[in-house]
Amino acid sequence: MSDLTRLLNDSKAHSDDELFAGLYAELRRIAQNRMRAEQPGRTLGATALVHEAWLRLQQEKATAEPWRDRKEFYAAAAEAMRRVLVDRARRRLAAKRGQGEAAQPIEEALPLPAPVPDERLVAVHEVLDQLEAEDAMKARIIKLRFFAGMTNEEIAALLEVSEVTVRRHWAVAKVWLYEALNAPA
């Protein structure tokens, strides 16, 4: 049994601060992997992502069942990081769209900007809910790859399946995701 699993299993015997200290290195590694995919110059760094995700995990922990194992913890951490990033992307998009500004006639508006990665992040978030209803495994793999930056090997170990299975699901999930994101509105 790994130290992480032991720490999660004994989480009732530890304070939240002790649990966070024990999990911090792994959470930071996940966040760093995820932040590599972000555009440079963003104000949110890996450390801030870890802290915001941890706060969300603690809020959810107060109302939800405790994590039983590493798999549940990683899934919850990836989901928390996903929600933090999506919320920040939505706030940036709202600011770009003039959040609270008076409407301007279209004739006076500047040319529309090209789509930005924040829009893609929000789009991925929205279609993931559809995929989750159809195939939870594929949705989980996308979340762990896209939002947690995990490799096929790490995902396979976490989900307790073979790496070949993860690759097979990832190949189908990528096609599904591409089609869902590029379908006419």
Residue with tokens 């040319």: 111
| pLDDT-based confidence at residue 112 (cuts at 50, 70, 90) | very low
pLDDT greater than 50 at residue 111 = no
Over the stretch 48-95, which tens digit does the pLDDT of each residue have?
Answer: 888 888 888 888 776 777 677 778 888 888 888 888 888 888 887 876
Would you state the structure tokens that stand for residue 161, as one six-digit string?
A: 């399946």
Q: What are phi and psi of 76, to 5 degrees?
A: -65, -40
Span 142-151, pLDDT tens digits: 888 877 888 8
Which residues lie closer than 8 Å to 66 by C-beta, 6 or more apart? 11, 12
**Helices then strands, each counted (H, E), the chain:** 8, 0
- Residue pair 51/125 in contact (Cβ under 8 Å)? The answer is no
Structure tokens at 122: 């929000």
Q: Provide φ and ψ at 113, rounded to 5°.
A: -70, 160
Tokens representing residue 53 in the block: 């995700």
Radius of gyration of the chain (CA): 19
- What is the rounded average pLDDT of the residues 99-113? 53
Q: What is the pLDDT of residues 135-170, one digit of tens each?
A: 999 999 988 887 788 889 999 999 999 999 999 999
